[in-house]
Amino acid sequence: MAYIIQGETGDWEIVIGLEVHAQVISKAKLFSGAATEFGAEPNTQVSFVDAAMPGMLPVINEICVEQAVRTGLGLRAKINLTSVFARKNYFYADLPQGYQISQFDQPIVGEGELILDLPDGSTRTVGIERLHLEQDAGKSIHDMHPSKSFIDLNRSGVALMEIVSKPDLRSPEEAGLYLTKLRSILRYLGTCDGNMQEGSMRCDANVSVRPVGATELRTRCEIKNVNSIRFVQQAIEYEARRHIDVYESGGTIRQETRLFDSGKCETRSMRSKEHAHDYRYFPDPDLLPLVIEQSFVDGIEAGLPELPDDKKARFMAEYGLNAYDAGVLVAERISADFFETVAKGRDAKIACNWVMGDFFAALNATGKTIENPPVSAADLGALIDLIKDGTLSGRLAKDVFALMVETGKAPAVLVEEKGLRQVTDTGAIEAAIDAVIAANPDKVQQVRDGKTTLLGWFVGQVMKSTQGKANPAMVNEMLSKKVLG
Amino acid sequence: MTNLTNLTLAEARDKLAKGEFTAVELTQAHLKAMEAKRALNAFIIETPELALEEAKASDLRRQAGTAGAMDGLPIGIKDLFCTKGVQTTAASHILEGFKPQYESTVSGKLKQAGAVSLGKLNLDEFAMGSSNKTSYFGAVENPWKRTSDPKAKLVPGGSSGGSAAAVAARMVMAATGTDTGGSIRQPAAFCGITGIKPTYGRCSRWGVVAFASSLDQAGPMARSVRDCAIMLGAMAGFDPKDSTSVNMAAPDFEKALTGDIRGLKVGIPREYRPDGLSDEVTQVWERGIEWLKAAGATPVEISLPHTKYALATYYIIAPAECSSNLARYDGLRYGLRVPGKTLDEMYAKTRAAGFGAEVRRRILVGTYVLSAGYYDAYYAKAQKVRRLIAEDFRKAFETVDVILTPTAPTAAFGLDETNDDPVTMWLNDVFTIPTSMAGLPGLSLPAGLSADGLPLGLQLIGRPFDEETVFKVAGVMESAANFTAVPEGV
């Protein structure tokens, strides 16, 4: 369903391209041996290279190259065996070298693609323009002194992958799906933890609008450093509306960099193109072109894990899941693994219903994460087994599950402790049925007169009198026979 | 003991080994010379106490039988090499007082080999200059004088002017230099000593204050070809901390000095005869060709057609790289800071006060040539021409083994001969720059005196990583030249 904004002069569509800065998972920085731990004391993870002391030189960290290639392969992208590091020159207090080592016209990864999983189960392919490696800057802290700024260089030199999409996204929702999917792939690959709060994944959004049906691209604005998916969507929505308002009142949009104010939910100008930096890119003479072997790429490819798209396809084929369920389960590798543990040797659809239903609800209710779940996959599987072997009815199983969440105990233990075993003893069920029939002769008559819907009421009464333990199927069958003869 | 300062490195090394004197005695003799010649302003800082400590330690190593290749030999370190705990300035106000917490790879290797450093030698600010007049710590004076006007002070050349003057004046036995476009070879020529810029990648740049990263290369400056070979052996080698250093073991350069150059072909480039080249320089060059012929080598005229573009190309690439390399001197983390009301104002004030005129000029030129809209016309084009220059040499080396040229178009000029035109000053490096652009080894050795009694140098250029042939030919030329003249007061 196309996302259309109705303006006063007609319908508009949004054109969005996203630039994501993903911090590479590696123990050391891109060009120095300094550590990369988040949250360390300020300026404790800084080498002479990171502080740009005189005469210091960068040396590429091979792990970061490997991670970039791995990510490129995960995005089904072209891997460039020769790439070049360039200097992006600008002055800022948290940029010690006075330039950022980045890649300009020869990035390590070229064009690729990413598949969006839409809520209706369909998919849409978005182009990836490129991925390149670059250094992060340090951090300026402006609120610790009335007139001075503090600089923390811990982050200076940490490896980032800048992943640039083509301008293929058409709605805030798609932008959100893109980020969710990208984060999912990065986490599967183990190349970025995708944590937007800690800033290890940051997003710049390039937004423009055009009348529906138009094919040319209009002037775009870049909204910098938005730190949550929700904010990215809000920023895009605001920015698109702003463009339309400007166009419809006869104005023009200037190409500029804007900031998103999440408090006011609006974007505002940071610097215009006229004040844009001239970065004076040129190949970094301290570094030779980065040349990697095809065998290096092949080795990484051979070690790639099963990625979300493939896993989703397999879940649909192997387990007969629908696209939506499969998409939800594979979004995180750990939830996919959880599901597979539960489903192994059991009915996959029942397993899926339990994981997607009661289990996810329990995660929400308890505020726990799947890494530290309230009920283990093994216990959930055991619970399903108890249903299958008749120990528990579906209804009893829900009660047992609730107790499992509450106590953390295994289902078999709870069944014993609480005596929740399903009653399948014909005599006991018959006695319960007889008691209910005897107490309600008028209702029996009504059923016999044709009001068969009342049978359900009888079932309820029997279940009630057996504290829910009677096997519902047996109750149904025996009741019908007894009442209707 | 005064003759201790006249020894070559090789001689002193052998005599120390024989126990004819101690490292402490040798060091003291040089410290005395350093004091006596202080007026030359060759040192930015002297470190006599450290030197004596190192000399004592050297004598102990020798007793213990663990002496290194340069043990106990007094040298000076160009103040572009970071030295742990010892002020390193690059001759710039912006780094005044800066004491690195680390030692450059090259100076560290020299220490490792046992060399004794007497201090940090003066240079052109950030190694930008050909006269040593751009140093914030004052110009260096060449120990040589014109016979016609012995009172006139002359420049030692640059940028390694302090190194050249200190070696020539016998204050140190040898010194480190760095060469970006001629900064070892031109001052060596002006001061009548020998210096080699090795192949780019031969010596680590780690810990050397960067000027133009794709050109900067450290090398030795000494009073004989053999001394340069010994010292380069101690300086060279792969360094994993420098991505442009080449993973190749340094050969025993001294072994290359066989004296036998029979059958070698020596290229004589026809493009190295620009208008205004002095007759004296031409004559020395021709004499050099004769020496080589007499030793059994064959001169071959060659063409290096892109030579005429080298200077212009260099003055795009080197400033471009410097404009970026020097961005880190921003007043924030070390060195000079001039406060300002805003960050930008602090940058502007700090850099205006911290950098001298020549450095500012090159930063401006470099910033300009990298700017949007100019990059292709200047920097990108210069890189293309640079490849053509390298290609000229590659082709030439298909037929010749080594190339012989003058080192500089003139002898040393006067310190007070003020020259307002920076481009004329840049012409000093016209013969040395092409070699730098191609990353080739180039050695300058003294080949004779001008009519006015000043040294004139010849340059030998070799194939990449073939310093051995350069040394071999230089050794033969050195014997033939028999350059025994010494500067005033030696």
Cβ–Cβ under 8 Å, residues A330 and A308: yes
> Residue A474: which CATH number?
1.10.10.410
- Regarding whether A363 and A249 lie in a shared domain, the answer is no
Q: Do A288 and B328 touch (CB under 8 A)?
A: no
Using CA coordinates, name the residue in chain A closest to B339. Answer: A148
Amino acid occupying residue B134: T
What does the pLDDT look like over A329-352, one tens digit per residue? 999 999 999 999 999 999 999 999
Looking at chain B, how many residues does it have? Answer: 490
Cβ–Cβ under 8 Å, residues B104 and B94: no
Structural domain contains residue B179: yes
Say if residue A6's pLDDT is above 80. Answer: yes
Out of A117-121, A362-366, A375-379, B483-487, least confident range:
A117-121
Q: Which of A247, A270, A300 is the last residue of a domain?
A: A300
- Regarding whether A26 and A167 lie in a shared domain, the answer is yes
Tell me, what's the pLDDT at A59? 98
Looking at the complex, does the CB of residue B98 fall below 8 Å from at least one CB of chain A?
yes
- Regarding whether A84 and A13 lie in a shared domain, the answer is yes
Domain total for chain A? 3
Residue A394 DSSP symbol: H
Structural domain contains residue B64: yes
CA–CA separation, A64 and B351 (whole Å): 35
Tell me the chain B residues in contact with residue A91 when contact means C-beta distances shorter than 8 Å: 327, 330, 344, 347
Position with higher pLDDT, A1 vs B467: B467
Name the residue range of residue A211's domain: 5-300
Structural domain contains residue B239: yes
CA–CA separation, A267 and B425 (whole Å): 54
Structural domain contains residue B121: yes
CA–CA separation, A196 and B355 (whole Å): 42
Tell me, what's the pLDDT at A272? 64
> Residue B229: which CATH number?
3.90.1300.10
- Regarding whether A90 and A12 lie in a shared domain, the answer is yes
Using CA coordinates, name the residue in chain B closest to A59. Answer: B243
- Regarding whether A462 and A368 lie in a shared domain, the answer is no
The reported pTM is 0.91
Sorting pLDDT into bands at 50, 70 and 90, what band is A39? confident
Mutation for testing the A interface, residue in B98, B239, B243 having most A CBs under 10 Å: B243
- Regarding whether A135 and A228 lie in a shared domain, the answer is yes
Name the residue range of residue B7's domain: 2-263+401-481
Tell me, what's the pLDDT at B1? 43
Question: How far is the CA of B307 from the CAs of A412, B104, B319, B403, in angstroms?
Answer: 89, 33, 19, 14
What does the pLDDT look like over B294-348, one tens digit per residue? 999 999 999 999 999 999 999 999 999 999 999 999 999 999 999 999 999 999 9
Q: Which of A400, A418, A436 is the last residue of a domain?
A: A418
Nearest to A342 by CA among A392, A396, A401, A418: A401
Per the listing, tokens 């020299």 go with B110
% of chain A with per-residue pLDDT over 70: 99
Sign of the alpha-carbon torsion through A202, A207, A213, A216: negative
- Regarding whether A372 and A386 lie in a shared domain, the answer is yes
Q: Which residues of B carry out catalysis?
A: 78, 159, 183
Sorting pLDDT into bands at 50, 70 and 90, what band is A302? very high
Sorting pLDDT into bands at 50, 70 and 90, what band is A215? very high
Q: What is the ipTM of this complex?
A: 0.96
What does the pLDDT look like over A71-107, one tens digit per residue? 999 999 999 999 999 999 999 999 999 999 999 999 9
What does the pLDDT look like over A160-213, one tens digit per residue? 999 999 999 999 999 999 999 999 999 999 999 999 988 999 999 999 999 999
Tell me, what's the pLDDT at A174? 97
Spatial neighbors of B87 by CB under 8 A, at least 6 apart, are: B44, B45, B96, B97, B98, B99, B120
Nearest to A57 among B241, B320, B367 (CB): B241
Cβ–Cβ under 8 Å, residues B211 and B318: yes
* Order of all β-strands in the sheet with B442-449: B43-46, B116-121, B74-78, B174-179, B217-222, B194-197, B442-449, B455-462, B402-406, B265-269, B298-302
- Regarding whether A311 and A264 lie in a shared domain, the answer is no
Position with higher pLDDT, A392 vs B317: B317
Structural domain contains residue B282: no
Looking at the complex, does the CB of residue B244 fall below 8 Å from at least one CB of chain A?
yes
Q: Do B367 and A53 touch (CB under 8 A)?
A: no
Domain total for chain B? 1
Looking at the complex, does the CB of residue A282 fall below 8 Å from at least one CB of chain B?
yes
A55-81 exposure pattern, b = at least 16 Cβ within 10 A, e = fewer? bbbbbbbeebbbbbbbbbbbbebebbe
Q: Do B320 and A282 touch (CB under 8 A)?
A: yes
Long-range contacts for B340-347 (Cβ within 8 Å, ≥24 apart)? B343/A92, B343/A93, B343/A149, B344/A91, B347/A91
Tell me, what's the pLDDT at A222? 95
Q: Do B206 and A89 touch (CB under 8 A)?
A: no
Structural domain contains residue B425: yes
Looking at the complex, does the CB of residue B100 fall below 8 Å from at least one CB of chain A?
yes
Structural domain contains residue B36: yes
Tell me, what's the pLDDT at A1? 55
Q: Which of A387, A418, A449 is the last residue of a domain?
A: A418
Tell me, what's the pLDDT at A469? 82
Tell me the chain A residues in contact with residue B381 when contact means C-beta distances shorter than 8 Å: none
Mutation for testing the B interface, residue in A57, A99, A106, A274 having most B CBs under 10 Å: A57
CA–CA separation, B131 and B436 (whole Å): 18
What does the pLDDT look like over A412-441, one tens digit per residue? 999 888 877 777 788 888 888 888 888 888
* Regions of chain B short of the pLDDT cut 50: 1-2
% of chain A with per-residue pLDDT over 90: 76
CA–CA separation, A154 and A349 (whole Å): 48
Structural domain contains residue B20: yes
Tell me, what's the pLDDT at A455? 83
* Per-window interface: A 70-89 vs B, CB < 8 A: 87, 89
Backbone angles phi, psi at B305, to 5 degrees: -60, -25
Nearest to A32 by CA among A54, A55, A56: A56
Say if residue A275's pLDDT is above 70. Answer: no
- Regarding whether A447 and A370 lie in a shared domain, the answer is no
CA–CA separation, B61 and B401 (whole Å): 41
Name the token pair of A299: 């080795």
Looking at the complex, does the CB of residue A274 fall below 8 Å from at least one CB of chain B?
no
**Distance (Å) from the alpha carbon of A146 to chain B's nearest alpha carbon:** 13
- Regarding whether A322 and A283 lie in a shared domain, the answer is no
Looking at the complex, does the CB of residue B332 fall below 8 Å from at least one CB of chain A?
yes
Sorting pLDDT into bands at 50, 70 and 90, what band is A270? confident
- Regarding whether A377 and A462 lie in a shared domain, the answer is no
Interface A–B counts its CB contacts (< 8 A) at: 99
**Distance (Å) from the alpha carbon of A109 to chain B's nearest alpha carbon:** 22
- Regarding whether A151 and A60 lie in a shared domain, the answer is yes
Looking at the complex, does the CB of residue B363 fall below 8 Å from at least one CB of chain A?
no
Backbone angles phi, psi at B343, to 5 degrees: -60, -45
Using CA coordinates, name the residue in chain A closest to B215. Answer: A285
